[in-house]
Protein backbone atom coordinates (compact mmCIF):
# COMPACT_ATOMS: atom_id res chain seq x y z
CA UNK A 1 0.00 0.00 0.00
CA UNK A 2 1.10 3.54 -0.76
CA UNK A 3 0.17 7.00 0.50
CA UNK A 4 -2.60 8.43 -1.69
CA UNK A 5 -2.07 11.57 -3.77
CA UNK A 6 -3.07 14.28 -3.25
CA UNK A 7 -2.32 13.78 0.41
CA UNK A 8 -5.37 13.60 2.64
CA UNK A 9 -6.53 11.98 5.85
CA UNK A 10 -8.62 8.81 5.88
CA UNK A 11 -11.24 10.00 8.37
CA UNK A 12 -12.57 6.49 8.96
CA UNK A 13 -9.18 5.22 10.19
CA UNK A 14 -7.67 8.53 11.39
CA UNK A 15 -4.46 8.25 9.37
CA UNK A 16 -2.96 9.06 5.99
CA UNK A 17 -5.11 7.75 3.15
CA UNK A 18 -3.63 4.75 1.33
CA UNK A 19 -3.98 3.49 -2.22
CA UNK A 20 -3.26 0.28 -4.17
CA UNK A 21 -0.31 -0.28 -6.52
CA UNK A 22 -2.49 0.63 -9.54
CA UNK A 23 -3.75 3.77 -7.78
CA UNK A 24 -0.19 4.72 -6.86
CA UNK A 25 0.92 4.48 -10.50
CA UNK A 26 -2.08 6.57 -11.57
CA UNK A 27 -1.06 9.17 -8.98
CA UNK A 28 2.52 9.19 -10.32
CA UNK A 29 1.25 9.74 -13.87
CA UNK A 30 -0.83 12.69 -12.65
CA UNK A 31 2.23 14.19 -10.97
CA UNK A 32 4.35 13.89 -14.12
CA UNK A 33 1.58 15.36 -16.29
CA UNK A 34 0.75 18.40 -14.20
CA UNK A 35 4.18 19.33 -12.88
CA UNK A 36 5.97 21.95 -14.95
CA UNK A 37 9.70 21.53 -15.60
CA UNK A 38 11.58 23.75 -13.15
CA UNK A 39 8.87 23.45 -10.49
CA UNK A 40 10.80 20.95 -8.35
CA UNK A 41 14.06 22.22 -6.93
CA UNK A 42 16.00 18.95 -6.84
CA UNK A 43 14.54 17.66 -10.12
CA UNK A 44 14.43 20.65 -12.47
CA UNK A 45 13.63 18.54 -15.54
CA UNK A 46 10.77 16.61 -13.87
CA UNK A 47 7.36 17.09 -15.48
CA UNK A 48 5.81 17.40 -18.89
CA UNK A 49 4.91 21.06 -19.35
CA UNK A 50 1.42 20.11 -20.52
CA UNK A 51 -0.21 22.86 -18.44
CA UNK A 52 1.22 25.45 -20.85
CA UNK A 53 -1.05 24.03 -23.55
CA UNK A 54 -4.05 25.78 -22.02
CA UNK A 55 -2.53 29.14 -22.96
CA UNK A 56 -1.50 28.14 -26.50
CA UNK A 57 -3.65 28.34 -29.62
CA UNK A 58 -5.30 25.07 -30.57
CA UNK A 59 -4.17 23.22 -33.67
CA UNK A 60 -3.24 19.81 -35.00
CA UNK A 61 0.50 20.54 -34.95
CA UNK A 62 0.42 21.71 -31.33
CA UNK A 63 -1.67 18.71 -30.27
CA UNK A 64 0.75 16.28 -31.94
CA UNK A 65 3.79 17.97 -30.39
CA UNK A 66 2.15 17.92 -26.96
CA UNK A 67 1.33 14.22 -27.26
CA UNK A 68 4.94 13.42 -28.07
CA UNK A 69 6.18 15.60 -25.20
CA UNK A 70 3.83 13.97 -22.70
CA UNK A 71 4.61 10.46 -23.90
CA UNK A 72 8.37 11.04 -23.64
CA UNK A 73 8.04 12.58 -20.15
CA UNK A 74 6.04 9.58 -18.95
CA UNK A 75 8.55 7.20 -20.50
CA UNK A 76 11.49 9.06 -18.95
CA UNK A 77 10.13 9.28 -15.42
CA UNK A 78 7.93 6.17 -15.18
CA UNK A 79 9.39 3.88 -17.83
CA UNK A 80 10.43 1.29 -15.24
CA UNK A 81 6.83 1.07 -13.93
CA UNK A 82 4.68 1.45 -17.05
CA UNK A 83 4.73 1.00 -20.80
CA UNK A 84 2.95 3.96 -22.39
CA UNK A 85 0.61 2.96 -25.20
CA UNK A 86 -1.12 6.13 -26.36
CA UNK A 87 -1.66 9.66 -25.11
CA UNK A 88 -4.46 12.01 -26.15
CA UNK A 89 -4.38 15.66 -25.14
CA UNK A 90 -7.36 17.99 -25.67
CA UNK A 91 -7.49 21.65 -24.69
CA UNK A 92 -10.96 23.17 -24.62
CA UNK A 93 -11.17 26.79 -23.40
CA UNK A 94 -9.67 26.64 -19.89
CA UNK A 95 -10.02 22.86 -19.48
CA UNK A 96 -7.26 20.42 -20.28
CA UNK A 97 -8.06 16.71 -20.75
CA UNK A 98 -5.35 14.08 -20.98
CA UNK A 99 -6.08 10.41 -21.62
CA UNK A 100 -3.27 7.91 -21.12
CA UNK A 101 -3.33 4.24 -22.15
CA UNK A 102 -0.60 2.24 -20.44
CA UNK A 103 0.39 -1.20 -19.21
CA UNK A 104 1.68 -1.76 -15.68
CA UNK A 105 4.92 -3.67 -16.14
CA UNK A 106 4.73 -5.63 -12.87
CA UNK A 107 1.23 -7.07 -13.42
CA UNK A 108 0.88 -6.65 -17.23
CA UNK A 109 -2.46 -4.99 -16.48
CA UNK A 110 -3.68 -2.56 -19.17
CA UNK A 111 -5.14 0.72 -17.91
CA UNK A 112 -6.78 3.78 -19.45
CA UNK A 113 -6.90 6.86 -17.27
CA UNK A 114 -8.25 10.32 -17.99
CA UNK A 115 -7.18 13.45 -16.18
CA UNK A 116 -8.88 16.83 -16.35
CA UNK A 117 -7.67 20.19 -15.09
CA UNK A 118 -9.39 23.56 -15.26
CA UNK A 119 -7.34 26.71 -15.10
What CATH number is associated with residue 17? 3.10.450.40
93-108, pLDDT tens digit by residue?
767 788 999 999 999 9
- Give the containing element (helix H, strand E) for 8: none
Domain span at residue 32 reads: 2-118
> Looking at the 3D structure of the chain, how many domains does it have?
1
40-82, pLDDT tens digit by residue?
999 999 998 887 766 666 666 777 777 888 899 999 999 999 9
Q: What's the CA gap between 34 and 11, in Å, rounded?
A: 27
Amino acid sequence: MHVDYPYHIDLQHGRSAKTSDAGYIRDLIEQVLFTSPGERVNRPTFGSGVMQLVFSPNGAVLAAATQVTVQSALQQWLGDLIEVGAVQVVSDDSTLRVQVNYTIRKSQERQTTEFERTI
